[in-house]
């Protein structure tokens, strides 16, 4: 019996948990490998460049076990430095090793695929358009890697929204080849919107649907659950791109609240009390124990 199946036996009939909620395989790999590295190397300093995942509870647990989160690389490094699942540029990889660290690359395999595709398009002379949040570390890494192969760094552009994409319409129309990739946690709805916009504005349009399978599955399951729910509760960090996208999608279907943990449910007591059918889902960086605590508190609230 899986963890989720055991929960279903104790959850009220009016509260339903999406089957695919919580850690995706990329995040699970990153967290488990980092913990394993610390256990196997108790005398070595273990550092992660940037937050390993976008979840403050997990980061706190890692720091309590002696794993350090680096905002930037120090002048001199020691021990092991982990590249998180969001990835980094080739230059950062070189800098980590130059500083004296032993490098461990935990970039998600799906993120690597986006980087490789963006680099191929840039190398082949395409104007590369990355659909995603400009400030997100995954997008920054994709952009930096693509720029390494572009004839001009301006030939790699990030569009968080269709309005942002429209700002370079003249460049799009004058470019012989347009290539599109997506941040792995983007939505199909945004992709379709962009395709409709670009289709009659360029001669050669190369679209690579690089949304990861886990994201697509999570979104589709949550949308089906939302269709039969009076309220959807989305659990996960406000900094998590896949979680915020999930919440945005569900708001178009039913009333939706986005919380980081069970404590935030106190802000929605009046709303929860009036709902008969509540669906629960969670972002890819939300650990099982946080989801379980949310469900337990929902049961007590109703």
Note the pLDDT of residue 5.
Answer: 45
Distance separating alpha carbons of residues 143 and 128, to the nearest angstrom: 9
Q: Is 221 a catalytic residue?
A: no
Note the pLDDT of residue 13.
Answer: 56
> What is the helix (H) or strand (E) element at residue 164, kind and residue range?
helix 162-166
Distance separating alpha carbons of residues 115 and 94, to the nearest angstrom: 17
Q: For the chain, how far is it from start to end, CA to CA, in angstroms?
A: 27
Note the pLDDT of residue 302.
Answer: 59
Predicted TM-score of the model (pTM): 0.88
pLDDT in tens, the chain (302 residues): 444 444 443 444 589 999 999 999 999 999 999 999 999 999 999 999 999 999 999 999 999 999 999 999 999 999 999 999 999 999 999 999 999 999 999 999 999 999 999 999 999 999 999 999 999 999 999 999 999 999 999 999 999 999 999 999 999 999 999 999 999 999 999 999 999 999 999 999 999 999 999 999 999 999 999 999 999 999 999 999 999 999 999 999 999 999 999 999 999 999 999 999 999 999 999 999 999 999 999 988 65
Residue 252: exposure state from Cβ atoms within 10 A (0-12, 13-18, ≥19): exposed
- 190 contacts 143 by C-beta, under 8 angstroms: no
* CATH code at 25-106: 3.40.50.11270
* CA max distance for the chain: 60
Q: In the structure encoding, which two tokens stand for residue 105, read together?
A: 């690359």
- How many helices and strands, by DSSP H and E, does the chain display? 13, 12
Note the pLDDT of residue 119.
Answer: 98
Q: Where are the domains of the chain?
A: 3-24+213-301, 25-106, 110-207
Strand order in the sheet with 127-131: 156-159, 127-131, 177-182, 204-207
CA angle in degrees (0–180, nearest 5) for 90-92-96:
120
* CATH code at 110-207: 3.40.1010.20
What is the DSSP annotation of 199-218? TTT-SEEEE-----HHHHHH
Catalytic site residue from 51, 61, 135, 138: 138
Note the pLDDT of residue 300.
Answer: 82
* Distances, alpha carbon 113 to alpha carbons 56, 153, 181, 184, in Å: 27, 20, 10, 10
Fold match flag (3-24+213-301 vs 25-106): no
* CATH code at 3-24+213-301: 3.40.1010.20
């Amino acid at each position: 019996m899986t963890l989720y199946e055991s929960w279903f036996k104790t959850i009220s009939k009016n509260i339903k948990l999406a089957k695919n909620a919580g850690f995706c395989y990329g995040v699970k790999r990153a967290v488990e490998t980092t913990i394993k590295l610390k256990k196997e190397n108790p005398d070595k300093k273990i550092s992660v460049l940037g937050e390993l995942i976008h979840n403050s509870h997990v980061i706190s647990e890692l720091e309590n076990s002696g794993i350090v989160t680096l905002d930037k690389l120090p002048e001199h490094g020691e021990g092991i430095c982990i590249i998180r699942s969001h990835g980094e540029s080739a230059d950062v990889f070189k800098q980590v090793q130059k500083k004296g660290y032993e490098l461990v690359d935990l970039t998600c395999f799906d993120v690597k695929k986006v980087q490789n595709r963006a680099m191929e398009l840039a190398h082949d002379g395409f104007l590369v358009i990355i659909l995603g949040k400009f400030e997100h570390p995954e997008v920054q890494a994709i952009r930096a890697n693509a720029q390494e192969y572009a004839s001009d760094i301006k030939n790699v552009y990030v569009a968080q929204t269709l309005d942002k994409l429209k700002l370079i319409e003249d460049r799009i129309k004058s470019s012989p080849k347009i290539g599109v990739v997506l941040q792995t946690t983007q939505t199909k709805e945004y992709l379709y919107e962009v395709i409709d916009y670009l289709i009659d504005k360029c001669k050669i349009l190369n679209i690579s649907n690089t949304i990861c399978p886990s994201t697509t599955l999570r979104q589709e399951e949550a949308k089906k659950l939302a269709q039969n729910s009076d309220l959807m509760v989305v659990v996960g960090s406000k900094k998590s791109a896949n979680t915020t996208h999930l919440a945005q999608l569900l708001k178009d279907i039913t009333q939706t609240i986005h919380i980081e943990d069970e404590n935030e449910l106190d802000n929605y007591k009046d709303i929860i009390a009036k709902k008969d059918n509540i669906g629960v889902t969670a972002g890819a960086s939300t650990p099982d124990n946080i989801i379980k605590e949310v469900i337990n508190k929902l049961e007590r609230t109703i």
